């Protein structure tokens, strides 16, 4: 029960980080690209390390128990790439203008441009599509955080923090166009906040649908898929976004720092 409450709490924390990004966008005239590059790299480092070093082996261990060594190994690999395929298909179905992988800077949306009637409509559409796209992305991330915490809180906590870090610029991506289109901070924050709630919604679905049938086999497949999803998000979303605003290798320093922090946390919590 303690793990269950922690799992829901961490998932809610990670999802609501989009709201933090939304608020930050209202109180700054420029985007701190150096910090953004470092933090996105850090988040990617945490996700990649924990996926390959901890989650993937745990998935294989569970599947070997359920199906034997050979079939278990095959199912682990299939689950891993199946997770990648799932998130890639989600990306494919999202309209290009709402793709959350495009980091939008605050200073790109100055008020003189935003006041143009045509652009106001385009900005509102962009913000709405981005909110929808991020909500769709947050859903499997919620399942990942929830299942990881339920199995091992020492895994769930750093995963939740990494996902929260990368949700902050996603909140900015929603709030900036909506705010300049409508002039309403309330509307921008509300849309950003609601997109973040998709993460605990994913956790709730995992609890209601998957928990009654949880076995070594199902757990192994879910964990392998989670590892694939997190590696794909890191390679497709976080690192390209981090490199886009990288001037002095900060994204790579962040990546290595994320891996070191994740490694130390796992060692200290053994």
In our burial notation (b when 16+ CB lie closer than 10 A, e otherwise), range 69-106 reads: eeebeebbebbbeebbeebeebbeebeeebbbbbbbbb
* 3 in a labelled binding site: no
The runs of H, that is alpha helices, within the chain are: 2-26, 33-50, 56-67, 69-93, 111-114, 117-151, 153-182, 185-196, 198-205, 216-233, 239-244, 250-268
End-to-end CA distance of the chain: 21
Question: Could you identify the residue written with the tokens 């909140």?
Answer: 171
* 166 in a labelled binding site: yes
Burial of 14 per CB tally in 10 Å (0-12, 13-18, 19+): buried
Task: In whole angstroms, give the CA distance from residue 247 to residue 43.
Answer: 18
* 101 in a labelled binding site: no
Q: Please report the sign of the dihedral spanned by the C-alpha atoms of residue 171, residue 172, residue 174, residue 178.
A: positive
* 99 in a labelled binding site: no
* 167 in a labelled binding site: yes
- Answer yes or no: are the C-beta atoms of 237 and 89 closer than 8 Å: no
Task: In whole angstroms, give the CA distance from residue 132 to residue 126.
Answer: 10
* 199 in a labelled binding site: yes
Task: In whole angstroms, give the CA distance from residue 237 to residue 164.
Answer: 14
Say how far residue 124 (Cα) sits from the centre of its chain.
23
Task: In whole angstroms, give the CA distance from residue 133 to residue 202.
Answer: 14
Binding residues for Zn(2+), by number, are: 141, 166, 170
Binding residues for Fe(2+), by number, are: 138, 141, 167, 170, 199
Binding residues, by number, are: 138, 141, 166-167, 170, 199
């Amino acid at each position: 029960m303690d793990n269950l409450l922690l799992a829901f709490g961490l998932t809610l924390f990670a999802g609501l980080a989009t709201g933090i990004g939304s608020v930050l966008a209202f109180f700054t005239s420029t985007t701190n690209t150096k910090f953004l590059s470092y933090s996105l790299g850090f988040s990617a480092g945490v996700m990649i390390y924990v996926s390959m070093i901890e989650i993937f082996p745990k998935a294989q261990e569970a599947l070997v128990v359920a199906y034997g060594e050979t079939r278990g190994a095959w199912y682990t690999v299939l689950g891993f790439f199946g997770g990648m395929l799932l998130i890639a298909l989600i990306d494919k179905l999202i309209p290009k203008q709402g793709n959350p992988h495009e980091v939008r800077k605050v200073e790109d949306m100055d008020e003189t441009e935003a006041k143009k009637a045509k652009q106001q409509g385009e900005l509102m559409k962009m913000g709405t599509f981005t909110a929808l796209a991020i909500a769709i992305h947050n859903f499997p991330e919620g399942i990942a955080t929830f299942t990881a915490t339920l199995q091992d809180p020492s895994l769930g906590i750093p995963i939740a923090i990494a996902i929260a870090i990368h949700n902050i610029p996603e909140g900015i991506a929603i709030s900036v166009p909506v705010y300049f289109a409508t002039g309403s901070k309330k509307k921008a924050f509300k849309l950003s906040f609601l997109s973040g709630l998709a993460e605990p919604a994913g956790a709730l679905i995992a609890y209601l649908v998957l928990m009654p049938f949880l076995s070594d086999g199902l757990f192994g497949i879910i964990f392998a898929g989670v590892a694939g999803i997190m590696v794909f998000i890191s390679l497709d979303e976080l690192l390209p976004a981090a490199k886009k605003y990288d001037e002095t290798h900060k994204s790579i320093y962040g990546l290595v720092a994320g891996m070191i922090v994740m490694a130390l946390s796992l060692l200290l919590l053994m």
